[in-house]
């Protein structure tokens, strides 16, 4: 998710890749374990200051949020707030 000159991928290409993954069924609300905390795709994109269009693509939809358990919704909100403060 983070930008790297080694990958030589433009923002437009990243957006296209993310759109393709979402079209193929990728979930916006997945957890990845980092060194000291769990991350969502949107939290990673925000943390690494990716383009606003990419962050918007990764934001959970109303349908995503409707299908979340209360525990997952609480975790998601805490994760996002923690990232925004970093």
Helix (H, G, I), strand (E, B) or coil at 7: coil
* pTM: predicted TM-score of the whole model, two decimal places: 0.70
What is the full per-residue pLDDT of the chain (86 aa) written as tens digits?
A: 555 555 566 667 888 889 999 999 998 888 888 888 788 888 888 888 888 999 899 988 888 878 777 877 777 777 766 666 65
The two three-digit tokens of residue 54, written as one number: 């990419």
Cβ neighbors of 79 (< 8 A, separation 6 or more) are 37, 38, 39, 40, 43
**Under a CB-based contact definition with an 8 Å cutoff, are residues 50 and 3 in contact?**
yes
């Amino acid at each position: 998710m983070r930008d790297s000159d080694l990958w030589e991928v433009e923002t437009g290409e990243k957006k296209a890749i993310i759109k393709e993954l979402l079209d193929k069924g990728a979930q916006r609300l997945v957890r990845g374990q980092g060194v000291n905390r769990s991350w969502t795709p949107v939290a990673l994109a925000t943390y690494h200051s990716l383009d606003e269009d990419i962050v918007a693509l990764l934001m959970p939809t109303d349908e995503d949020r409707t299908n979340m358990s209360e525990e997952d919704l609480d975790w998601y909100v805490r994760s996002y707030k923690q990232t925004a403060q970093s």
